[in-house]
Amino acid sequence: MIYQRSSALFAAAQKVIPGGVNSPVRAFKAVGGDPIFVKEAKGAYLYDEDGNRLIDYINSWGPMILGHAHAPVVNAVVEKAKKGTSFGMPTEIETQIAELAVAMVPNIDKIRFVNSGTEACMSAVRLARGYTKKDKIIKFAGCYHGHSDSFLIQAGSGAITFGSPNSPGVTQGTAQDTLLARYNDLDHVKSIINSNKNEIACIIIEPVAGNMGCIPPVKGFLEGLRSLCDAHNILLIFDEVMTGFRLAQGGAQELLGVDADIVTFGKVIGGGLPVGAFAASSAIMNHLAPLGPVYQAGTLSGNPLAMAAGLAMLTELHENPDIFKSIADKTEYLHKGIAGALEQHNITHTINRVGSMISVHFDKETIVDFDTAAKGNNNTFKKFFHGMLENGIYIAPSAFETWFITEALTYDDLDETIAAVDKVAKTL
């Protein structure tokens, strides 16, 4: 593969954008080399600035569940743009997508739209603190809820890559209110609650972790968190920015059968445009301004273009629920194919998968939390990443990420991907 134009564009970008990117994980720091610059994308394929076609397993980190440039989404945005792009005033389409989201997701009466997953999670925590009148939160090592100060305490995703458990700029005053637990370790959560009696407002968790690779909750873990929250007047926040409208219509709450008190969304809900959201019962959401005292706002929140993209996306998912099984089946097929190819070449690995989220770890251990995820052989991962890229397959440029399967992938694409794994495995 030739990447001359991407490299030239990267050099230019670095002169005016820190690190040449607007989000660190795109910079290939975890795998080395220059990032790929995309010219356009359609369906399951990316077309980079050097004319290479790549099968895409990132899909903008989740939103492109129906494929890139999906016509109903594009058309909705184009038509809406012709009528104006932003008003800073309420519009009917905000109510339409809110009604649809409330119909699709369990346990929510109301939803507030914002502009990113970070904003959704930050606002959800503020709401939990305002509702319970308590200050502390519990998050899990390796989980990533965006770059709000309270979350940058041993966060996952790109923050892991930079080895900065507590990002500079996050004050001790903020950090002291964030308590860190081990994912899948209920006893650890219990001990933290007992050591901070009546001080914890919420537990925020990725119900299926996707920012240290894909890590499913062990049996009883989420149910145990639910019971602890009920017993100690703590709100349970499911960060469904990745899992929402991906694992099922009703996300992880529906798939795993555990009720959250507040749910956050991003990615799929915006159909590829900047949208985040958080939702809960009316009893909780009515604490938000202008109804209640918990302040939260945004100039472009509920932006008509973003709402048009999100409404088109959610409408198609709502009307075609078989999509969720289809992408889960494709992910299972891919899992079996990759595992077979790596086993054939005696490559030590573990593959985690939930629905249409999957990750490959080059370690024999079962990956259940940040510590076990961090044991993966990153040198092998780097070679695997670049080998797959050379074969026209674009996977997450970090071992601490999840691959996202799009319905636009055909079984021929999956076979091409599996064949690439077989070819690359020989070089590992």
- Total site size for ligand KE4, rule CB under 6 A: 21
Pick the closer one to ligand KE4 by CB: 163 or 293. 163
CA distance 332 to 354: 9
Return the closest-CA partner of residue 206 out of 246, 163, 176, 164. 246
Q: Are 176 and 239 in contact (CB under 8 A)?
A: no
Pick the closer one to ligand KE4 by CB: 21 or 419. 21
Pick the closer one to ligand KE4 by CB: 209 or 418. 209
> What's the token pair of residue 353?
């998968």
- Confirm or reject binding of residue 148 to ligand KE4 (CB under 6 A): no
Q: Are 181 and 138 in contact (CB under 8 A)?
A: yes
Q: What is the DSSP letter of 209?
A: B
What is the x/- site pattern for ligand KE4, positions 88-127, by CB under 6 A?
A: ----------------------------xxx--x------
- Residue of minimal CB distance from ligand KE4? 117
Q: Work out how close the CB of 419 gets to ligand KE4 at its nearest, in angstroms, rounded to a whole number.
A: 27
175: exposed, middle or buried (Cβ count in 10 Å: 0-12, 13-18, 19+):
middle
CA distance 362 to 31: 14
DSSP-based three-state secondary structure for 286: coil
- Confirm or reject binding of residue 395 to ligand KE4 (CB under 6 A): no
- Confirm or reject binding of residue 23 to ligand KE4 (CB under 6 A): yes
**CA distances (Å), origin 37, targets 7, 392, 405:** 8, 14, 21
Which of these ranges, 174-182, 239-247, 306-314, 319-327, lies near ligand KE4 under the rule CB under 6 A? 239-247
CA distance 123 to 293: 13
39 as an active site residue: the answer is no
CA distance 184 to 141: 10
Pick the closer one to ligand KE4 by CB: 255 or 424. 255
- Confirm or reject binding of residue 145 to ligand KE4 (CB under 6 A): yes
**Neighbouring C-beta atoms of residue 297, cutoff 10 Å:** 11
Amino acid making up residue 373: A
Interaxial angle between packed helices 304-319 and 71-81, expressed in degrees from 0 to 180 and rounded to the nearest 10: 150
> Could you say which of 59, 211, 356, 359 contacts ligand KE4 (CB under 6 A)?
211
Return the closest-CA partner of residue 81 out of 271, 306, 305. 305
Q: Pick the catalytic residue: 110, 134, 267, 330?
A: 267
Q: Work out how close the CB of 384 gets to ligand KE4 at its nearest, in angstroms, rounded to a whole number.
A: 18
Pick the closer one to ligand KE4 by CB: 147 or 342. 147
423 as an active site residue: the answer is no
- Confirm or reject binding of residue 158 to ligand KE4 (CB under 6 A): yes
> What's the token pair of residue 144?
């990533």
Pick the closer one to ligand KE4 by CB: 151 or 424. 151
- Confirm or reject binding of residue 241 to ligand KE4 (CB under 6 A): yes
Q: Work out how close the CB of 36 gets to ligand KE4 at its nearest, in angstroms, rounded to a whole number.
A: 14
> Could you say which of 9, 25, 122, 155 contacts ligand KE4 (CB under 6 A)?
25
- Confirm or reject binding of residue 18 to ligand KE4 (CB under 6 A): no
Which of these ranges, 4-12, 71-79, 186-194, 234-242, lies near ligand KE4 under the rule CB under 6 A? 234-242
Sequence-distant (≥ 6) Cβ neighbours of residue 407 within 8 angstroms: 65, 66, 67, 323, 326, 327, 330
Partner residues linked to 394 by β-bridges: 56
What is the x/- site pattern for ligand KE4, positions 37-66, by CB under 6 A?
A: ------------------------x-----
Give the strand pairing for 262-265 and 276-280: antiparallel
Q: Pick the catalytic residue: 48, 56, 177, 239?
A: 239
Residue 206 has phi, psi (to 5 degrees) of: -80, 110
- Confirm or reject binding of residue 260 to ligand KE4 (CB under 6 A): no
Give residues in contact with ligand KE4 (CB under 6 A): 23, 25, 61, 116-118, 121, 144-146, 157-158, 206, 210-211, 239, 241-242, 266, 276, 401
Which residues are known to be catalytic?
144, 239, 267
